[in-house]
Structures are given as structure tokens and as C-alpha cells.
């Protein structure tokens, strides 16, 4: 980290992305380290901070869903620029994570949540599961008493939410993603990944939260292993570089992200964005880039349960030299 490291605490947690008052101002190249709450607004002790610390959203019943840390105001950021946010570290700060089945949530509850009750099936029953982390946070274990089993899986901490103020200063719930980023729930937003985000408003107003200890593709039940974190980010700024959708990059892949419905459109948008990236910055002919992606490209589904779905198109960096 070549710039200054700023450690800060949020005095307010936001449940939507918008033109909020900055929690901190930084220069390009600086790093920030801050605590995040879990998706239900719980801290490392399993408790909720005082209610007045939450900015309430009158448009949703899920008033404390995915509360965000920030915003971080990036000096010099203007509309038409691009943020390059490297995720340096995500520390899980609680010995356990929760996951829930909620009526109207997840792939078995989409119809009732989006279109209202159909009358064709009973609402999904509420269930809560508590996953216990190992002392080094490398694995998570769940007891399944009804089955008489115990399962252990490896962890892969990542941020379910990271994004900037949406276009035209709009206010967008932290329950959904779009081209500003937001609740993408894609496992690639992990330590070692650089997240590229469009800047739509002066200062960008970066926010992050919704830490996950692990999650399968799709986030089928509507929640991952929801856990508070201590997250460290390094924030750079690329002037006069407008992008339409978020991008990701790690040591192995370049990735393009699309957040929309239906799922096939999310795949198309992510794939087209990849072709444009290859053509504009890596010297490929458009149709040769399309052929390369067709044979070597990968697709990762972040979520199919949020109001807008998330798809990540991936291409190995070894093919780009």
C-alpha cells in the first residue's frame, strides 16, 4: 500500500446506495480499514448497534438488510472516471455465521416475492442455521440434527456488497445490484481482487459490507454464511475512463459483471462487455475476441435471488499476452 492507511468507524450504516454524507475522505492510492456488519445488522458480538446508527429505508420492510460501511469520498473522482478498488483483506470477526430460509426469499420463494402469492404452493418455512468457524476461520461446520449428520466446508470470505452512488444520484436499495455494483453476491469479490466501478457522482461515494464466510453459486436460499468483517481496501482512481458495468480482476482472470433480469440477459450483457474490453484494451479484433470467449470463457452466477440477478463472465489472463 503506497498511500495512507485510514482506519475509521461508521457512525451511520446505510441500507441504500445514494448521495449520502461521506464517512471519510481519501486520496487516490490511499487505503481504508473498517468494520462491517452482517446482512442482518449484527456485529462481532451478535448484537445490533443502537438503532439511531441505521439510516432507515421507508420503501422496504427489510430496514436493516445489508447495512453498508461508508461512504468513502475519493478526492478527484468525477463522473466519467473509474474507481479501481483492490480488496486487500477480509477478516471474519465472529466465530459463527448465520444463514436463513425466509418465506418469499430464495429460488423457492421468488414467485411470491416478485409477483405476490400464487396459491400454488405453501410459503417457504422459516429456518435458521448457525455455521461454526474453525479457530483459524478456514472451515465452517454445521450440525444437522434432523439428519443426524455434521458437514464441514472450506470458507472463502468475500463481500456480498460493494458499490458507488448510482447514476444521477439515485437511491438504490442494498438488496439489489445494478451498474453501480451493490448487492452482487459474487464470490470473486474476495481478497486479491480489484473491483472496477464506474463513477457517477463527484467523490464516487464508495460503500461496502454484507460479509460472507462462504456461499454457493446462486445464493439459492437468499443468504450466505452471513458474518461481520474487518475489511481493508486500497482505492485508486483512473481518470477519464468510463465503463458501463463493474469489472473484476485477480491474478488469474479478468471478469465482467452484469446485474439484470432475466438471467439470459445478464449472461449476454456480461459477455458483450468482455468482448468490448478485449477489443478496446487488449488489441483483439472484435470477432476474434468473440471466438476466444466462446471457447475459453467461463460464467459464474453470483445470485439468482435478488431483484436483479448477477452474472460474472471470466477469461483467463494467460490468453491475453
DSSP string covering 135-164, please? Answer: TTSSEEEEEETTTTEEEEEE---EEEEEE-
pTM for this entry: 0.94
CATH architecture entry for 5-93+157-243: Sandwich (2.60)
**Mean of the per-residue pLDDT values of the chain:** 93
Place of cell 471470466: 314
Q: What share of the chain is helix, strand, coil (3-state, %, to 5)?
A: 15, 40, 50
pLDDT exceeding 90 applies to what percent of the chain?
85
pLDDT at 62: 47
Ranges of CATH 3.10.28.20 domains, the chain? 248-319
Whether the per-residue pLDDT at 104 is higher than 90: the answer is: no
Ranges of CATH 2.60.120.580 domains, the chain? 5-93+157-243
- Kindly report the number of other CB atoms within 10 A of residue 169's CB atom: 11
Note the pLDDT tens digit of each residue in 20-46: 999 999 999 999 999 999 999 999 999
Whether the per-residue pLDDT at 268 is higher than 50: the answer is: yes
Q: How confident is the model at residue 112 (pLDDT cuts 50, 70, 90)?
A: very low
pLDDT at 240: 98
pLDDT at 110: 53
pLDDT at 105: 79
- With CA atoms as reference, report the closest residue to 196 among 296, 89, 77: 77
248-319 topology per CATH: Endonuclease I-creI (3.10.28)
- 8 Å CB contact between 46 and 228: no
Amino acid at each position: 500500500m503506497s498511500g495512507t492507511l485510514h482506519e475509521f468507524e461508521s457512525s451511520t450504516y446505510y441500507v441504500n446506495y445514494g448521495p449520502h454524507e461521506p464517512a471519510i475522505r481519501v486520496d487516490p492510492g490511499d487505503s481504508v480499514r473498517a468494520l462491517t456488519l452482517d446482512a442482518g445488522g449484527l456485529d462481532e458480538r451478535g448484537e445490533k448497534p443502537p438503532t439511531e446508527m441505521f439510516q432507515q429505508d421507508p420503501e422496504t420492510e427489510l430496514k436493516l438488510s445489508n447495512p453498508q460501511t461508508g461512504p468513502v469520498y475519493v478526492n478527484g473522482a468525477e463522473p466519467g472516471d473509474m474507481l479501481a478498488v483492490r480488496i486487500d483483506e477480509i477478516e471474519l470477526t465472529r466465530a459463527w455465521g448465520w444463514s436463513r430460509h425466509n418465506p418469499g426469499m430464495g429460488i423457492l420463494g421468488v414467485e411470491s416475492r416478485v409477483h405476490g402469492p400464487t396459491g400454488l404452493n405453501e410459503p417457504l418455512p422459516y429456518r435458521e442455521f448457525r455455521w461454526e468457524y474453525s479457530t483459524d476461520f478456514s472451515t465452517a461446520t454445521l450440525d444437522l440434527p434432523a439428519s443426524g449428520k455434521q458437514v464441514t466446508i472450506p470458507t472463502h470470505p468475500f463481500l456480498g456488497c460493494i458499490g458507488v452512488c448510482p447514476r444521477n444520484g439515485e437511491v438504490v436499495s442494498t438488496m439489489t445490484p445494478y451498474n453501480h455494483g451493490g448487492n452482487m453476491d459474487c464470490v470473486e469479490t474476495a481478497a486479491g481482487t480489484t473491483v472496477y466501478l464506474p463513477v457517477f457522482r463527484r467523490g464516487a461515494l464508495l460503500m461496502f459490507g454484507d460479509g460472507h464466510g462462504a456461499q454457493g453459486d446462486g445464493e439459492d436460499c437468499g443468504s450466505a454464511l452471513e458474518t461481520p468483517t474487518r475489511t481493508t481496501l486500497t482505492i485508486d482512481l483512473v481518470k477519464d475512463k468510463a465503463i458501463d458495468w463493474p469489472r473484476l480482476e485477480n491474478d488469474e482472470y479478468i471478469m465482467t459483471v452484469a446485474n439484470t433480469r432475466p438471467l439470459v440477459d445478464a449472461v449476454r450483457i456480461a459477455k458483450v462487455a468482455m468482448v468490448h474490453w478485449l477489443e478496446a484494451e487488449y488489441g483483439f479484433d472484435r470477432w476474434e475476441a468473440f471466438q476466444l470467449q466462446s471457447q475459453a470463457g467461463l460464467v459464474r452466477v453470483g445470485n439468482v435471488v435478488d431483484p436483479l440477478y448477477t452474472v460474472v463472465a471470466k477469461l483467463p489472463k494467460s490468453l491475453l499476452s
